Chains A and B, each alone.
Chain A
Amino acid sequence: MRTEGSRTNDSGWIYTSCGGCYGQCGIRVKKENGVVVKIEGNPDTPAGSGRICAKGSAQLMTLYDRHRINYPVKRTNPEKGVGVDPKWERVSWEEAFDTIVTKFKNMKDPRGAYFQATTVQTSEIRFAVPAFMKAWGFKNYWVSGGGLWCGNGAHFMNGIMHAAWSIIPDWNYNKYTIYFGCSKGHGAGHAALQTAQWVADARAKGMKAVVFDPFLSTQASKAHEWVPIRVGTDAAAALGMVNVILNDLKIWDAHYLKQKTNAPYLIKADGCYVRDPETNKPLVWDLSANKAVPFDAYEMSLDVNPDLALEGEFKVNGTVCHPSFQLFREHVKKNYPLDKVEKITSVPKSTLRRIATEFAEHAQVGSTIVVKGKRLPLRPSAAIFFRGSQGHVNSGWNCLSIDLLNQILGAADVPGGSMGHGPPVSHGHPATGKPNTIPYACPDGLLIVKGWVYDHKPYPLHEPGPPQRLDLQDMFPCSVYNAFTICTPEWEKYLKDFKIDYRPEILINFGSNSVMTMANARDVTENFLKKFDFILSFNIYQNEFTEAVADIVLPDTCYLERYTPCVTFPSTFCHPTGMDDWVWQIRQPVVEPLFERRDFNEVMLEIAKRLGIQDKYYEAINNIIPIRYGGEMDPKYRLDPKGDYTWQQVVDNVLKDRLGPDKGLEALKKTGLEKWPAKVEETYWRWFAPVRVPIYFEYFIEGGQKLMKVLKSFGREDIVDIRFYTPLAEWFPCPSHENASGEFDLWAFCWRPSFHTQSSTQNNPWLDEVSVKDPFVYLIQINEQTGKKKGLKDNDIIWIENPDGKRIKGPVKLVQGMHPEQLGIAGCHGHWARGTPVSRGKGVFYDDLINPDLKHTDSLTQGTDACVKVKVYKAKEGEI
């Protein structure tokens, strides 16, 4: 075996960043005589503080996995499809480049290119993907994990409400956390190692955790209380509890609502703001002056408590209007009484009332604390959510409704409350002031994020217009991508109906395994992937995607073989939330790439050069950096479009620009990171940033109207349910909630084990060894009483079938930790690729139950519904 890395006899520790999941903790890697022999946590970084999880330790087996792709290969079997043998044939890099360049040059229309990328290598996708798209001139992309494993609902809503990619409790002060469908602090890649310590510390100090989940997840098991809930009903439970807090307990943080939200904004009969005729500013009612005043008439400060109305009826220039808070309060009272909520969620109303009461009381509305000399509100209650809440037709509103529990109590980005994960607000490195990501206000006073992961910010909403993209996504105001267009047989009809004058031609895939992570594998393959003339894929393994459809597969490096300028900004999942230092962590190779593996970013740069578009590629990178890493580039470090750079030189420029001339690549390679102290104004930024957030989503009305206008012009109003574009939070049912057929009597859902990352880790033999011994991961969990009624026992092989006739098969485990009317499966298992023999046939492939059609799509965020109503029956003898 030729391994270039072992030719160098170097020994010692190298400091870099993990790539086992998107958390990207700091690690150090030990080499002996050129061989990597150990991966440990880097004790010097706040992103992990020396700890390491199972996935992190096990990455050794990925670096040296003998099933990895080591040379470029091309498909010789012209047939494509799920399970097809591609009959790979090794080619030289030169032949691969020639084929790729020729394919691009022969495109009928450059817009017909499409990028698909994995979120596991989240820091890598921030350069080549957008740079190549801009340079070649196309707008189509899919981020794998999107739709199903990641997505529109949670990130969009957190961007609006917390300027952040995700939210997490401030466990430094938190005393009461409500979890909905997430495992933060219990292995989720949200600063996984740091939060695991903090949540354990908080529990030891008496923090109470309540977990709403259909099954007894790890976090539910560690919590004080597990509340079994029907899947996809999170918004109903949250709004029911909001109702209890606002209407029965009559607890809210009036000061926060008046100063930091649009709760006092006056709303007229059409649902829109009453605005000042001259300035167009939304008006609020000043009780002392007994008149309407602009929302910003008072200084926004913790010390100023203006006498503004949150309730009542007023007349402004003859128009009857009410503060939005009053409308919200009345709305939850009328529409979310606990009797009704109990029927929707299956959670007893006494439980909902008790938890709502405990949550509100623990928030200690009115209390303050001094942190590093700054007086701040202390609100030790937090309600958090993630994938479980958003994987439904009600994706967006599920997330928003849960966050409203925080907002009414002022428990947002203050000590003890729900925090934008990151933190999202950075004043920058002391030497450069970058990355600078301080949110700012729109003319209506509402929060606009500064640094963001993708170009289109969550607010202001994207302006609906005639679509340019092949998934029509640029027509929708609130989302990033969708599956209902591209993954269904109607795709061509959509393209015709919306007068898209080009067609899919080339797909470039970076690391994604979309055949297993978008929806039913055959829907994805037949309707979407097989429509491309040519598919180029960068992978470390041949997986279900490459075997089904790729034409050329290039041997990518893994994260231990590559340079990445930064993994901890934009600050999405790496930084813990607290007063720990900021850290800028790089990724550097611990061995030279083995065999003929080459780094994705380096290869895309090479392709751009061969296509003669490197000038545009460099210019695109110059434009991307200020958005992703907060702050304009110093002209000195901008890439010269006429220049010629290697990937390492690009990395060096980024580092010097963000951290200072003495912090280039050579300097950072020594320690792998640069740290600086966090300020109170950054961590607990809410009262320092002059911004408000909505509790009343007035702008959805206009967004929805504009969208419908566009849809109408194409005769396709049918693809959006306008009811979702409401200013007041709602629960809308999934098809699974409306399927009353007695035959389909169980809800199926999927969950994520802490020791796997999406579909990327199952071939790791150390993690497989853990999974084999784990009592749940490779099995279908059904409530024991339910299972017995159906005549099932442990290890029976059963079929699970959805109302569309799609079915999956696997072994049963009867458990107590499961809602009696539901069944759970660890997602992204059940691989079948030839290239990943370790994972083949282990576990159950949940996504085959998912139908990514319009009826399973959130009209607001276009997220895909992942809960399914099913029937189960034993497999016959010959099927086992």
Chain B
Amino acid sequence: MPRYGFVIDLKRCYGCYSCQVACKAENCTPKGIDWARCIQAEVGQYPSALRQMLPTVCMQCDDPACMTVCPTGATTKDENGIIQVDKKLCMGCKYCIMACPYGARQVVANWETYFPDAPGDLDPYEAYAKKRWEEGRAGYGMATKCDYCMHRVKEGRNPACVDACPAKARYFGDLSDPESEISILIRRERGFQLNPEFGTNPSCYYLPPR
């Protein structure tokens, strides 16, 4: 069984937010919900300061803190290492949101339109997106998160953020295969996990910015 993983090359990323918006478009996430975020901050002092870009996804940890704290058993890890949230079991207690050291989970109470100042019904796309959100694996009042676009992966495609990335800074593949592209990149290009000291063994690796 493959253990799916990500490699994000910080050398290549230039912080354009294409991943974040592509994820929203692919997964019809409601207002305020971003499963693939691009966090940006300035580091260092003038004149050698830098803008650091840090794109994130769910780390799909091997030892996920979110799963340990889940009181209902809604959070599980599937055979590919993807952390799933069972819509029927999640009661929205948000323990997992507190527990996840990477801020990968969000909860949304209901569908808010992106056009609150416009009168009338939702536009055809928002109506479609709302329906897909409600009928899909996520929903309201429950923990939601990135699942590496498993619906695309099952069709043999990459997660949406990987295919969108203009700089080709994102790679998706099988961590359990030492000859996969991502395993080779991690080995050869000093791949690292974010905050390994949290002890969750993330499936998302980063390549250093310099």
Contacts and interface: CB of A to CB of B under 8 A. Distances in A.
Contacts of A65: 115, 123
B45 A187 contact: no
A37 B128 contact: yes
Interface in A38-94: 38-41, 50-54, 56-58, 60-61, 63-67
B117 interface: yes
A54 B20 contact: yes
Contacts of B115: 65-67, 765, 838
A816 B12 contact: no
A413 interface: no
A200 B169 contact: yes
A670 B46 CA distance: 53
Interface stretch (B136-144, B160-168, B190-198): B160-168
Contacts, number: 168
A815 B42 contact: yes
Q: Which of A6, A186, A769 has the most CB of B within 10 A?
A: A769
Interface string B76-88: 0000000000000
Given A63-B125, A216-B51, A197 B21 contact: no
Contacts of B168: 51, 197, 200
Contacts of A766: 21, 24-25, 114
Nearest to B47: A228
A27 to B, nearest CB: 11
A1 interface: yes
Given A216-B42, A221-B51, A203 B123 contact: no
Interface string B149-193: 000000000000001111111000000000000000000000000
Interface string A760-802: 0000011101100111000000011100000000000000000
Contacts of B45: 816
B171 to A, nearest CB: 13
Interface in B109-152: 114-115, 117-118, 120-121, 123-129
A63 B164 CA distance: 20
A783 B126 contact: no
A523 to B, nearest CB: 30
Contact of A218 (B15, B123, B169): B15
Q: Which of B17, B24, B46, B129 has the most CB of A within 10 A?
A: B17
Nearest to B115: A66
A266 B172 CA distance: 61
Interface string A75-117: 0000000000000000000000000000000000000000000
A61 B26 CA distance: 13
A554 interface: no
Nearest to A5: B124
B41 to A, nearest CB: 6
A837 interface: yes
Contacts of B11: 200, 203-204
Contacts of A36: 125
B132 to A, nearest CB: 8
Nearest to B33: A769
A60 B166 contact: no
B57 interface: no
Contacts of A61: 114, 125
A815 B47 CA distance: 11
A57 B18 contact: yes
B72 interface: no
A721 interface: no
A816 B21 contact: no
A197 B120 CA distance: 42
Contact of A37 (B17, B34, B125, B169): B125
A818 B46 contact: yes
Q: Which of B11, B120, B126, B128 has the most CB of A within 10 A?
A: B128
Closest 9 CB pairs of A and B: A66-B118, A816-B49, A196-B166, A765-B114, A221-B51, A200-B12, A64-B123, A837-B117, A54-B21
